[in-house]
């Protein structure tokens, strides 16, 4: 016999919440991994690349190169910190997902 049981709206909401958290966790984890790979290879993604052109009277190519190198190092440091932050977010999404799973299990068992 086929059951005509439909889960209550609250359990449907909790299931949807788990799916959304899972997606957010995956995106944060992938972003963190991508940024780590960029840092390992010394590459700064275009959106995180700092740029500054200085005009100090006479344009010195050497001076601008030193500024560009400094900006590159700072950009890599920002990538590292952003990667760490994304990893923390991923862990937090995982914890929240476990809490919602526990809540859903209680609703279904109760």
Which conformational region is residue 104 in: left (phi greater than 0), alpha (psi within -120 to 50 degrees), or beta?
alpha
pTM of the predicted structure, to 2 decimals: 0.79
Two tokens at 20? 């959304």
Q: What is the pLDDT of residue 1?
A: 46
CA distances to 10, 22, 48, 109 from 94, rounded to whole Å, are: 20, 7, 27, 22
Q: What is the pLDDT of residue 63?
A: 86
- Give per-residue pLDDT as tens, 2-27: 455 556 787 889 999 999 999 999 99
Which conformational region is residue 57 in: left (phi greater than 0), alpha (psi within -120 to 50 degrees), or beta?
left
Q: Would you say residue 49 has pLDDT above 60? A: yes
Q: What is the pLDDT of residue 6?
A: 53
Tell me what the pLDDT averaged over the chain comes to: 90
């Amino acid at each position: 016999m086929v059951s005509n049981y439909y889960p209550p709206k609250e359990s449907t909401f909790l299931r949807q919440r788990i799916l959304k958290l899972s997606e957010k966790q995956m995106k944060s984890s992938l972003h963190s991994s991508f940024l780590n790979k960029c840092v390992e290879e010394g590459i700064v993604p275009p959106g995180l690349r700092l740029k500054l052109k200085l005009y100090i009277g006479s344009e010195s190519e050497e001076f601008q190169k030193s500024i560009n190198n400094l900006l590159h190092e700072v950009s890599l440091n920002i990538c590292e910190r952003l990667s760490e932050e994304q990893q923390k977010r991923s862990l937090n999404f995982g914890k929240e997902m476990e809490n919602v799973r526990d809540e859903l299990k209680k609703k279904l068992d109760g």
